[in-house]
Amino acid sequence: MLKTKHLLISLLVISFALRIWRIDFPQAYVFDEVYYPFTAGEYLQNNTAAWEWWTTAPKGNSYAWVNPPLAQEMMAISMQVFGSDNYWSFRLPGVFLGVLSIYLLYLISMTLFKNQRVALISAFLFSLDGLTLVQSRTGMLDIYLLTFLLTSLYFILTKRFFWSALFLSFAISTKWTGFYIIPLYIWLLIKD
């Protein structure tokens, strides 16, 4: 019988393959990519208008100033490294974060249930979730937020508060909705 470690690695490799396969398709912005990767590309061109809420963007696109810029900056770094003239460069960080979120769910389940089988089943079921699959394959903010929140949650459950706070700040620097986990953290700290 395969060991849990081998099953987990297999799950992560298959999840990566499903997320990376044809990541450059479609060759157009989809959903909210008209905001985030477009803004990331404008960051690369040092266009200060991308930071200003009152600026009108070119027709068909829009600047993303409603949420903090961390995810767009990560997309911009990927575009800088791999080229801004292709659609997979700004989608690539989401692929890695999507796979990392599956592993983080495994770690959180291990922390909570102390059972490898339960943790592996949790990670497997999470890997089948269509929403996280789509978010991992598009240049949108939600997979960044999710991964940072799961990392923060794992660290608070393992009582590494500095790292939990750091990744919570990354989550909030991606989307304001990262604040909504704070009541859970307060409850976790009070109950101990």
Distance (Å, rounded) from C-alpha 171 to C-alpha 141? 10
- Exposure of 157 in the CB half-sphere (CA atoms within 13 A): 17
Interval 16-29: pLDDT, tens: 999 999 999 888 88
- What token pair was written down for 167? 């990744």
Flag whether the pTM goes above 0.85: yes
Interval 108-160: pLDDT, tens: 999 999 999 999 999 999 999 999 999 999 999 999 999 999 999 999 999 99
Q: pLDDT band at residue 2, thresholds of 50, 70 and 90?
A: low
Q: What's the confidence (pLDDT) of residue 50?
A: 85
Q: Does 77 have pLDDT greater than 90?
A: yes
Distance (Å, rounded) from C-alpha 184 to C-alpha 177? 13
DSSP secondary structure string for all residues of 122-179: HHHHHHT-HHHHHHHTSS-SHHHHHHHHHHHHHHHHTT-HHHHHHHHHHHHTT-GGGG
What mean pLDDT is reported for the chain? Answer: 93
